[in-house]
Chains A and B, each alone.
Chain A
Amino acid sequence: MRWLTDPLSAPYMQRALVAALLLSLAGGLLGVWIVLRRLAFFAHAVGSATFPGLVVAAPLGIAPPLAALAAGLGFAGLLSRLTRNGATGSDAATGLLLAGALALGSVLASDVYRSGVGVDRLLFGTLLGLGDADLWLAAAVALAAAAATAALARTWLATGFDPAGARALGVSAARGDWLLLVLLAASVVAMLPAVGALLVSALLVIPAATARLLTKSLGALLALSVALAAAESVCGLLLSYHFDLPPGPAIAVVAGGCFALAALVSAAPGRHAARVAA
Chain B
Amino acid sequence: MSPAARIEAAGLGASYGAGAVALRDVSFAAEGGQAVAVLGPNGGGKTTLFRALLGELATVAGTFSIEGAIAYVPQTERSRLDFPVSALDVALMGAYARTSWYRRVTAADRALARAALEQVGLGERAHERFGALSGGQRQRVLIARALVQDAGVLLLDEPFAGVDQTSEDAIMGILDALRAEGRVLLIATHDVEQARGWDRVLCLRGEQIAYGEPSSTLTNAVLEATYGAEIVMLDCGHRAVAIQHHDHAH
Q: Which residues of chain A have a CB within 8 Å of any CB of chain B?
A: 36, 151-152, 154-155, 157-158, 160-165, 167-171, 212, 215-218, 221, 278
Q: Verify A170–B78 contact, CB threshold 8 A.
A: no
Measured in the bound complex, the distance between the Cα atoms of B145 and A157 in whole Å is: 14
Q: How far is the CB of A173 from chain B (nearest CB, A)?
A: 10
Q: Verify A169–B94 contact, CB threshold 8 A.
A: yes
Question: Which of B9-17, B95-103, B114-122, B229-237 sits within the interface?
Answer: B95-103
Q: Verify A168–B129 contact, CB threshold 8 A.
A: no
Question: With A169-B96, A169-B97, A217-B84 known to touch, is A161 a contact of B74 (CB < 8 Å)?
Answer: no
Measured in the bound complex, the distance between the Cα atoms of B73 and A278 in whole Å is: 25
Within 8 Å by CB of B71, from A36, A158, A163, A168, lies A168
Q: Verify B149–A169 contact, CB threshold 8 A.
A: yes
Q: Give 20 new A-B contacts, CB below 8 A, not counting A162-B78, A163-B78, A168-B71.
A: A154-B101, A157-B83, A161-B83, A161-B85, A161-B90, A161-B93, A162-B79, A162-B80, A164-B72, A164-B78, A165-B72, A167-B54, A168-B54, A168-B56, A169-B94, A169-B149, A212-B84, A217-B84, A218-B89, A221-B84
Within 8 Å by CB of B96, from A170, A215, A278, lies A170
Question: With A161-B90, A162-B74, A278-B129 known to touch, is A152 a contact of B84 (CB < 8 Å)?
Answer: no
Within 8 Å by CB of A167, from B56, B83, B102, B155, lies B56
Which residues 87-143 of B sit at the A interface, judged by CB distance below 8 A?
89-90, 93-94, 96-99, 101-102, 128-129, 132, 142
What are 24 A-B residue pairs whose CB atoms fall within 8 Å in the complex? A151-B101, A151-B102, A154-B96, A157-B85, A157-B93, A160-B80, A161-B80, A161-B85, A162-B93, A164-B72, A164-B78, A165-B74, A165-B78, A165-B142, A167-B54, A167-B56, A168-B54, A168-B56, A168-B72, A168-B155, A169-B96, A169-B149, A170-B98, A215-B84
The 7 closest A-B pairs by CB, nearest first: A170-B97, A168-B72, A162-B79, A165-B74, A161-B83, A164-B74, A218-B84
Total residue contacts A-B, CB cutoff 8 A: 72
Contacts of B96 in A (CB 8 A): 154-155, 158, 169-171
Q: How far is the CB of B183 from chain A (nearest CB, A)?
A: 16
Q: Verify A171–B84 contact, CB threshold 8 A.
A: no
Question: With A158-B96, A217-B84 known to touch, is A278 a contact of B74 (CB < 8 Å)?
Answer: no
Q: Verify B72–A36 contact, CB threshold 8 A.
A: no
Contacts of A215 in B (CB 8 A): 84
Q: Verify B71–A216 contact, CB threshold 8 A.
A: no
Within 8 Å by CB of B129, from A162, A171, A216, lies A216
Q: Verify A36–B93 contact, CB threshold 8 A.
A: no
Measured in the bound complex, the distance between the Cα atoms of B142 and A36 in whole Å is: 20
Closest to B53 in A: A168
Within 8 Å by CB of A169, from B85, B89, B93, B128, lies B93
Closest to B248 in A: A164
1/0 per residue, CB under 8 A from A, across B43-64: the answer is: 0000000000010100000000
Q: Verify B128–A278 contact, CB threshold 8 A.
A: yes
Size category of the B interface is 20 to 34
Contacts of A161 in B (CB 8 A): 79-80, 83, 85, 90, 93
Measured in the bound complex, the distance between the Cα atoms of B127 and A278 in whole Å is: 11
Q: How far is the CB of B79 from chain A (nearest CB, A)?
A: 4
Residue with the greatest number of chain A CB neighbours at <10 A, chosen from B54, B70, B96, B97: B96
Measured in the bound complex, the distance between the Cα atoms of B80 and A157 in whole Å is: 10
Measured in the bound complex, the distance between the Cα atoms of B132 and A186 in whole Å is: 36
Closest to A165 in B: B74
Measured in the bound complex, the distance between the Cα atoms of B72 and A221 in whole Å is: 29
Contacts of B129 in A (CB 8 A): 216, 278
Measured in the bound complex, the distance between the Cα atoms of B52 and A250 in whole Å is: 53
Q: Verify B54–A216 contact, CB threshold 8 A.
A: no
Question: With A164-B74, A167-B56 known to touch, is A36 a contact of B102 (CB < 8 Å)?
Answer: no
Contacts of A169 in B (CB 8 A): 93-94, 96-97, 145, 149
Residue with the greatest number of chain A CB neighbours at <10 A, chosen from B79, B84, B128, B142: B84
Contacts of B99 in A (CB 8 A): 154
Measured in the bound complex, the distance between the Cα atoms of B145 and A167 in whole Å is: 14
Question: With A161-B90, A165-B74, A278-B132 known to touch, is A171 a contact of B97 (CB < 8 Å)?
Answer: yes
Closest to B99 in A: A154
Measured in the bound complex, the distance between the Cα atoms of B101 and A154 in whole Å is: 8
Contacts of B102 in A (CB 8 A): 151
Q: How far is the CB of B78 from chain A (nearest CB, A)?
A: 5
Measured in the bound complex, the distance between the Cα atoms of B78 and A168 in whole Å is: 14
Question: With A161-B79, A167-B56 known to touch, is A218 a contact of B85 (CB < 8 Å)?
Answer: yes
Closest to A151 in B: B101
Q: Verify A216–B97 contact, CB threshold 8 A.
A: no
Q: How far is the CB of B47 from chain A (nearest CB, A)?
A: 9
Q: How far is the CB of A247 from chain B (nearest CB, A)?
A: 31
Closest to A212 in B: B84
